[in-house]
Amino acid sequence: AQSVSQHNHHVILSEAASLELGCNYSYGGTVNLFWYVQYPGQHLQLLLKYFSGDPLVKGIKGFEAEFIKSKFSFNLRKPSVQWSDTAEYFCAVNAPSSNTGKLIFGQGTTLQVKP
């Protein structure tokens, strides 16, 4: 069965600090990978996605993620965080071969950015 593990449960940073959130998945086949963000009081929104091609993908609001197949990882990065990045971040994986389209989510990482 697929699973997704996010290493950091709660991260506290000061504004302008760099961010890296870890995500590892377990699945031996082809996967699609996603990062979603949930701002306080809002529903989930897509930050970025990887399907194929360049393993370094860029998303909205200056976020990027790198897919490293050999490490089964899809870590999220941002060079300089802002107070408005305070949110919960979820990594998710989808196995196209399953024919269900369902996403399996990680446990989430709460990011708190101090002004």
Partner 1 sequence: NAGVTQTPKFRVLKTGQSMTLLCAQDMNHEYMYWYRQDPGMGLRLIHYSVGEGTTAKGEVPDGYNVSRLKKQNFLLGLESAAPSQTSVYFCASRLDRDREKLFFGSGTQLSVL
Which of 76, 29, 70 has the alpha carbon at shortest distance from 48? 76
Q: Does 11 bind partner 1 (CB under 8 A)?
A: no
**Torsion of the alpha carbons at 38, 43, 48 and 50, rounded to the nearest 10:** 110
**Residue whose CB is less far from partner 1, 81 or 106:** 106
Q: Does 90 bind partner 1 (CB under 8 A)?
A: yes
In the complex, minimum distance from the CB of residue 33 to partner 1, in angstroms, rounded to a whole number: 12
In the complex, minimum distance from the CB of residue 81 to partner 1, in angstroms, rounded to a whole number: 21
Q: Does 63 bind partner 1 (CB under 8 A)?
A: no
Q: Any idea which residue has 């930050």 for tokens?
A: 47
Rounded Cα–Cα distance for residues 81 and 19 (Å): 7
In the complex, minimum distance from the CB of residue 15 to partner 1, in angstroms, rounded to a whole number: 26
